[in-house]
Amino acid sequence: MFEKADQPDATLQPILTKLAAARTRLIMERPFLGALVMHLPLKVGGEWCTTTGTDAKAFYFNPKFVDNLSLAQTQFILAHEAMHCAMGHPHRRNHRVKRRWDVACDHAVNLMLIEEGLKPPLHGILADQNFMTLSAEEIYPLIPEDTPEESFDQHLFDSDNEQGGSPDENERQDDSEGSEAGGQGKEGQSEAEQQQGSGSQASQKPNEMSQTEREELSEQWKNRLAAAAQAARQAGKLSQSMMRWVDGLLAPSLPWRALLARFFAVNQRDDYSWRRPSRREGDALLPRLSSEGLEVIAVIDTSGSIGDEELRQFVSELDALKGQVRAKVTLLACDNRVADKSPWEYEPWDTMELPTDIEGGGGTDFRPVFDWVEHENRSPNMLVYFTDAAGEFPKLPPNYPVIWLVKGKGVVPWGERVQLN
């Protein structure tokens, strides 16, 4: 947002009102995109900015360009710049040619936003349907070296490596000192002119970021992406396509066994717990010592989508972990109903093996497991579900942690998703 100290002139006010209205509409109708957009302060660009642009720190715009857009198109350009940041485009170019990389990134972003139902500006939008579902890295080699295509906006993350690469640190330092000394920038701009927008110079292009700055910004945007996705998911306003993309981008690089061990360790407590007691213990909420270890409910999907060998590996890994953290494991099997012979109970010292008499092969429905937990009055420290995530989920998450170990590309509406490679 603009700082109060720098009130825009009368000709700019309608443009700012349109941008604010577009932001509000995104927050109300598409909270995932709206949350991302709010991380980019609005700044008027100088002569260098003919449309819009971003350096992953701000949204730069040309007032005349925005003035000619409808409110729906304004939502699109705001979301477009925010998605460049959320998708990590500032740090993913590596040694690729900047112009072709910018084109590839625009195809990837625009196709996603159009699929979400946003309305792009009429001209200059790159959105080749042949690239649908492809990442910028996958699109890049399909862009001819002599392509006439150009990005409609400006990606201000770094300089063009065809034109000499990065400016050196001394040049960046001189730029910074020139903009701070006496309220005058390089071209004699007043301090008010430099601060128009959100307190920093916008009449000149932003200085190129160092690799360290790009990496730090990348981590910030990854955290923002995760938070925005979680909030939208809980509100039921995150589309399936966006869910798949977010899960793919945030998929952990650690092996699932290491991640599962980490979840177990984090949830282990040798301390007093205020966890709600069972009904048999009455209504009083008193602290109790939880040094007995963890209570874990493990569920295997027996609908036929996961092979017996994979199930055995999962059970074997649980067996090793439960002894390390003194966990009591309750094993359930479920396809579209909890198996009749469930549950199988294992103390920390018991050897855990995959039962040989598991029934299954029906459809997939996750609701019976959570109904069973509630009916049995269980309050586990965590529930781990081994599945392909293709089934019916409960509408609301339970009040205990749920970890989905997912084989394939299925998405989950809540809980922690761990990709099985």
Amino acid identity, position 29: E
Does residue 5 belong to any structural domain of this protein? no
Comparing 232 with 160, the larger pLDDT belongs to: 232
Same domain, 238 and 349: no
Same domain, 321 and 364: yes
Same domain, 73 and 132: yes
The lowest-confidence range among 8-22, 170-184, 273-287, 386-400 is: 170-184
pLDDT of residue 65: 94
Does residue 337 belong to any structural domain of this protein? yes
Same domain, 126 and 215: yes
Does residue 358 belong to any structural domain of this protein? yes
Residue 268's Cβ-count burial label (10 Å; 0-12, 13-18, 19+) is: middle
Please give the Cα distance from 230 to 216 (Å, whole number): 22
Query: Which residue do the tokens 């997939």 mark?
Result: 364
Comparing 1 with 338, the larger pLDDT belongs to: 338
Beta bridge partners of residue 334, listed in sequence order: 301, 338
What distance, in Å, lies between the first and last C-alpha atoms of the chain?
A: 43
pLDDT of residue 127: 92
Query: Considering the chain, what percentage of its residues have pLDDT values greater than 90?
Result: 33
Instruction: Give the CATH number, domain containing residue 263.
Output: 3.40.50
In terms of residue numbers, what domain contains 339? 256-278+288-420
Same domain, 325 and 400: yes
Does residue 193 belong to any structural domain of this protein? no
Same domain, 30 and 167: yes
Same domain, 262 and 129: no
Residue 124 has pLDDT above 80, yes or no: no
Comparing 285 with 187, the larger pLDDT belongs to: 285
Number of domain units in the chain: 2
Please give the Cα distance from 387 to 300 (Å, whole number): 7
Please give the Cα distance from 166 to 264 (Å, whole number): 45
Mean pLDDT estimate for the chain: 78
Same domain, 355 and 381: yes
361: confidence class by pLDDT, cuts 50, 70, 90? low
Amino acid identity, position 152: F
